[in-house]
Amino acid sequence: MKKRILAYRRKIDGLLQENGGYDWAALKTEHLVQIAFFQHERLIHLLVTGLFALMEILLVALVLLAFSPVVLILAAAVLLLLIPYVWHYRLRENEVQKLYAQYDQIVEKCEEQAREA
C-alpha cells in the first residue's frame, strides 16, 4: 500500500503541474474516492498501532510489577513490532495530509475551469 499511495500522489502532483486542458471535475471526484480508500487504510493502521501500544504499556507495567524474564522478552518483541507500525502509520498520515492539499488545488483548478467556460 505504501507504493500505491506514493505513486498516486506523484501522479496527481504531475497532473497539477501540467496545467493542461484536463477534466478537473472528474479528477476531483476520483480524488475524493482515493482519499476515502486511504483514510480507511489509515484508520485500520491507527487501530492496530494503538492496540500494539496498549499491549506494550501493559507488558511494561507487568514487568515493573512482577518481573519475569519471559514477560521482558515479550515486551521487547512487542516494542520491536510497534516501532515499524508507528513508522508506517506516520507515512500514511503524512501522505493523506498531502492528498488533502492536492484536493484543495484541484478545487481551485475546477473553479478556474468553470470561469473560463
The tens digit of pLDDT for each residue in 18-33 reads 877 788 999 999 999 9
pTM: 0.83
C-alpha–C-alpha distance, residues 78 and 76, integer Å: 5
Within a domain: 80: yes
Within a domain: 12: no
108 closest CA partner among 30, 39, 19? 19
The tens digit of pLDDT for each residue in 92-109 reads 999 999 999 999 999 999
The tens digit of pLDDT for each residue in 31-62 reads 999 999 999 999 999 999 999 999 999 999 99
Cβ distance 111 to 22 under 8 Å?
no
Which residues have a Cβ under 8 Å from the Cβ of 27 and sit 6 or more positions away?
12, 15, 106
Within a domain: 28: yes
Residue 97's pLDDT is what?
A: 96
Within a domain: 76: yes
C-alpha–C-alpha distance, residues 28 and 17, integer Å: 15
Within a domain: 6: no
- φ/ψ region of 19 (left if φ > 0, alpha if ψ in -120 to 50, else beta) reads left
What domain count does the chain have? Answer: 1
Within a domain: 10: no
Sign of CA dihedral 38, 40, 43, 45: negative
26 closest CA partner among 109, 116, 117? 109
Share of the chain above pLDDT 90, in %: 81
Within a domain: 7: no
Domain enclosing residue 80, as ranges:
24-116
